[in-house]
Structure 1
Amino acid sequence: MIHRRRLPRPAPAALFCLVLALALVGCSGGEGKGGAPKAAPPGKPNIVFVLTDDLSWNLIAHMPQVRDMQAKGLTFDNFFVADSLCCTSRSTILTGKYPHNTGVRTNFPPDGGYRVFKAHGGEQASFGAGLQRAGYRTAFLGKYLNGYQPGDRQGGPAPYVPPGWSEWYVTGNGYPEYNYNLNENGRLVHHGQAPQDYLTDVLSGKADDFVRRAAAAGKPFFMEVATFAPHGPFVPAPRHAGALPGVRAPRTPAFNEADVGDKPSWLRARPSLRSPGLQGIERGFRDRARMVQAVDEMIARLRRTLAAKGLDKDTYLVFGSDNGFHMGEHRLAGGKMTAFDTDIRVPYVVVGPGVEAGGRTGAIVQNTDLAPTFLDIAGAAVPPATDGRSLVPFLRGARPPDWRTAALVEHVKPPPSPQDPDRQDSSPGAPPTYNALRLPDALYVEYQNGEREYYDMTRDPHQLDNLGGRLQRDRRRQLSALLYALTHCSGAGCMSAGRTR
């Protein structure tokens, strides 16, 4: 039986806000448009976080709303994920901890997945609970963590909703965009194959509805909308199925790399890409570009609603991705998990109160920094065990003098799993387990089998010339020691460990 969603009762009156002297930024006072209650007290801005799945930098050219956000907000040019794999990255986003501290190293047990995240206390450590304690109404929509089942009751009378979330609209296998079940605040609702069941559009409608109700309640809110787009199998919305007919996969110098003789053994044996593989890349990239049209439309809809409700001046809108995606670079047909910039460097853009228009920063930031940023915006305490650090100074136009100069990437090769939509990169030809450093001017990788990579990013931004075998001994020891320190860090020690001398 298909259930229809019931709207929750209005939230209670908002808690008293922090005094203005402690406010993150000044917020507009008085009533909202049309005499509606003020949406957020001073010092308690709203936060809307749109998290996409496998979205790479080269798709931003096809997203006019995101480009407009760049023109009106701040772009993080060097935002790196701690692992270019869905569940590990999302666990880091939720907790602000590196994978070696979340315990989530892959998408499925025994080394990862939702059950491992929960067993390691991830739900209690996630930022949702902290935001609720700070007086926020919280909502989570879309994709949670690999292995999560929306109908799982976990011993309770109704489908389970994790702690920290006032509202919950989440599914498990939403990759095909159709024929899925949503856990809607503990009620399982089925969506089929009709055009109106297209998942990104369903999330868009529910997100818009939440914002409208939150505006009427007059309580600060946080909402994460985590789309499955543009993850494979690359299913665009019906209205976009024929869009962008001339779009092709970008041909950077790394595309179908001519000579991989200096690459590590897992990549060195890869043959050049040929047809029909190249044709598949073209189709895949075009459909990915088509998929993000619905995401871009969702962002436009949210921005219109925020403005109409008088919330746009009191709301931070954050756009980003859990990891990047390669399509043809270095002879790799399609996937992630490598330490190349295609996979670990992702778009992050923020608009909101006090954020200067058209700003850019080249500081090394990571997905460990998102949880402390959200808590900081809310005036909530950041747990001492958090490995990342708040990005709020950057939103104010400042850069802390003691900020990190090295990003940590740590990846465990997952075993093949028929359940895993990312299993194409669990094959014997995928990269083995590695740890890596991304510096402002270099990438350094240590593989479990003893192989190394080093790229001079100033002279070689496309990572074509591996200098790993030609590093001077002192430099290699320095980088290896830094990598060891970061892979064993925790809490505030991670920021100090990430500052190179």
Structure 2
Amino acid sequence: MNIFETKKMRIRVYFAAVVGVLIFVGCKETRPVEKTSKSKKPNILFIMSDDHAYQAISAYGSKLVQTPNIDRLAKEGMLFTNASVTNSICAPSRATILTGKHTHINGKIDNLMPFDTTQVTFPQIFQKNGYQTAMFGKLHFGNNPKGVDDFMILPGQGFYINPDFNTSKGDTTITGYVTDIITDVTLNWLKEEREEEKPFMMMYLHKAPHRPWWPSPEKFKEFTKKEFPEPETLFDDYKNRGTAAKTAEMNLLTHMMYSHDSKIRPELVAKMGDKVTPKVEEFENGFYGPFGRANSEQKAKYDEVLDEINADFEKNWPSMTDEEKMRWKYQRYMQDYLACISSVDDNVGRVLDYLEESGLAENTIVVYTSDQGFYLGEHGWFDKRFIYDESFKTPLIVKWPNTIKPGSVENEMVQNLDFAPTFLEAAGIEVPSDMQGESLMPLLKGKDEKWNRDAVYYHYYEYPSVHMVKRHYGIVTKEYKLAHFYYDVDEWELYDRLKDPQELNNVYDDPDYSEIVTELKQKLVELRKKYKDSPELDQEYIDIYKEMKAEKDNDFW
């Protein structure tokens, strides 16, 4: 028995003995749901991008980029301002969305730990209840998703240029830009493969704007001519924060890579030698791995822009101050990141246009979200992982004609944990009792008085690992955020979300907040119990992680 089989056995025994988790394997115990008033079940189109920060959507007031097509959904539906994730990292977020359960329950606590494949996902339930199901784009774990009649999935992270795909008919490589291709396949399915007599549940999943942010050649040329406003906290010194913020490895200047991220050719970095400071460790083949997939025609278009970027770097970088270098890296980051988002928005528009033209829009619930938030230079960072807002909060926009009041804004605390039960209830399908999320139906129907959640629970596990964000769990309300960082530290942080929206001052030890600390700690204990998390389970996962890391020849390292 290998270490992963051992791990899965231990976790299942632990859940049964200590946590008492009920794993849904076709059990009949379900929660009652409000029956849909329509005789015709609604279609569901779930659109998710990877690492799309809410700060980069104009409907959320972005000063960085205009997203007119995503904004259409907000104008015609509901925009959530307090939507968040349970664990801000790609594969765990997706596992939570699919199962409606926290990651410590479905097993996918980080990008390395295997998903518990005995878990039932909501597409499986839709499929069993007469829906035609499909999934196109980035799943990020497993290449044979359950519960979908048709799929085309990027293996692993996937590539932006001429990507490979795993499909229900075999593996393939398609020439073109990944965002366009995923949309082409999605539209083809809607037009040619959809069975008109059945309702559909489709997952339309973009790779963009995940690192390393290769835009299409056209967007690359357009956005490198733009300059973007800097966040107020670009030069944050973390002086009123704990160890975790001070030791995280996601600073634009000292951790963002020259070749992999900023698109400086490796041979130029080598030629310039000691003139390239600070030194940053690069991923092996981090530049030519993605760029080398381009054909000669595509490379010619990219090279026109790459030549300009590299010439500017060679001429100016050696004489820049650290402050100027930070600003240069920020602009390069935003140019590529926002160019990728612009392509996502264009393609979302293509799909929305087809729904309107075909008449499908009237009976289709359209959801736009991301698998988590992302730092766009705030606190000097890129990436995610923290319970802090830019990482923890995620965009969520829902359009449902004749149910959601157009232009609605919802401020209640909701999570990606809630998606699965929401979709099921909207379709009139019984929600399995072991799903931990709450259906958003009261909020979508404007019946906020029936919503009684006042706090959400968060838990991040992937440490020590890339970006070195320490393990932590916490509770978040509209007013406060309390987090406990653990593993190799024992530190608490409290933020007043209303007085300190940028989360610059940890007031955990402030006597004026002592009663708040006591109250939130008690609520946190209650949430941990409610969601079947515990200190014992924390330690169990730490022990398993250490065993996995010690096993050098396994498939995950």
Partner of 1:165: 148
Q: Distance in 2 between the 1:44 and 1:391 partners?
A: 17
How far the C-alpha of 1:446 sits from its partner, in A, is 0.8
**SS of residue paired to 2:94:** helix
Partner of 1:295: 344
Partner of 1:34: none
Q: Normalising by structure 1, what TM-score?
A: 0.79
Residues 231-275 of structure 1: CA distance to partner in whole angstroms, max 9, x if unpaired? 010011122112244644543433322x42221113236899534
Contact 1:364–1:440 under 8 Å retained in 2: yes
Aligned positions of 1:307-322 closer than 5 A: 307-322=356-371
Supply the AA of the counterpart residue of 1:486: L
**SS of residue paired to 1:446:** strand
Supply the AA of the counterpart residue of 2:373: G
2:492 paired with 1:452:
yes
2:367 paired with 1:352:
no
How far the C-alpha of 1:23 sits from its partner, in A, is 5.4
Contact 1:56–1:325 under 8 Å retained in 2: yes
How far the C-alpha of 1:67 sits from its partner, in A, is 1.2
Partner of 2:160: 177
Using the TM superposition, name which of 321-330 and 70-79 deviates more: 321-330
Q: Distance in 2 between the 1:172 and 1:105 partners?
A: 20
2:519 paired with 1:483:
no
How far the C-alpha of 1:436 sits from its partner, in A, is 1.5
Q: Distance in 2 between the 1:294 and 1:229 partners?
A: 9
2:110 paired with 1:106:
yes
Matched pairs, number:
418
C-alpha RMSD over aligned residues: 2.2
Q: Which has the higher helix share?
A: 2
Partner of 2:238: 260
Q: Distance in 1 between the 2:335 and 2:370 partners?
A: 18
Q: Distance in 1 between the 2:158 and 2:70 partners?
A: 22
How far the C-alpha of 1:452 sits from its partner, in A, is 1.3
Runs of 5+ unmatched residues, structure 2: 1-32, 59-65, 254-322, 533-557
How far the C-alpha of 1:43 sits from its partner, in A, is 3.7
Runs of 5+ unmatched residues, structure 1: 1-20, 27-41, 151-160, 417-422, 492-501
Contact 1:22–1:43 under 8 Å retained in 2: no
How far the C-alpha of 1:391 sits from its partner, in A, is 1.1
2:182 paired with 1:134:
no
Aligned positions of 1:115-154 closer than 5 A: 116-119=114-117, 121-122=118-119, 125-146=120-141, 148=142, 150=143
Supply the AA of the counterpart residue of 1:144: L
Residues 436-464 of structure 1: CA distance to partner in whole angstroms, max 9, x if unpaired? 21210111111112211111111111111
How far the C-alpha of 1:83 sits from its partner, in A, is 1.0
Residues 48-77 of structure 1: CA distance to partner in whole angstroms, max 9, x if unpaired? 011110000111122110112111110011
User: How many percent of aligned residue pairs carry the same amino acid?
Assistant: 27
**SS of residue paired to 2:503:** coil
Change (3 A) 1:87 1:374: same
How far the C-alpha of 1:402 sits from its partner, in A, is 4.4
Residues 399-458 of structure 1: CA distance to partner in whole angstroms, max 9, x if unpaired? 143421111110013343xxxxxx3x2xxxx32110021210111111112211111111
Q: Distance in 2 between the 1:441 and 1:181 partners?
A: 45
Q: Distance in 2 between the 1:174 and 1:485 partners?
A: 36
Partner of 1:58: 55
Change (3 A) 1:240 1:97: same
Q: Distance in 2 between the 1:272 and 1:167 partners?
A: 40
Q: Distance in 1 between the 2:88 and 2:125 partners?
A: 26
Contact 2:53–2:376 under 8 Å retained in 1: no
Partner of 1:337: 385
How far the C-alpha of 1:277 sits from its partner, in A, is 3.3
Contact 1:134–1:379 under 8 Å retained in 2: no
Q: Distance in 2 between the 1:236 and 1:97 partners?
A: 34
Partner of 1:67: 71
Partner of 1:46: 43
How far the C-alpha of 1:398 sits from its partner, in A, is 1.6
**SS of residue paired to 1:163:** coil
Aligned positions of 1:318-467 closer than 5 A: 318-332=367-381, 334-353=382-401, 354-416=403-465, 423=466, 425=467, 430-448=468-486, 449-467=489-507
**SS of residue paired to 1:276:** helix
Residues 282-312 of structure 1: CA distance to partner in whole angstroms, max 9, x if unpaired? 2112211110122112211111111122111
Contact 1:73–1:357 under 8 Å retained in 2: yes
Greater Rg by CA? 2
Change (3 A) 1:432 1:406: same
Partner of 1:220: 199
Contact 2:108–2:116 under 8 Å retained in 1: no
- Counterpart of 1:24 (choices 13, 28, 36) is 36
Partner of 1:18: none
Q: Distance in 1 between the 2:239 and 2:366 partners?
A: 44
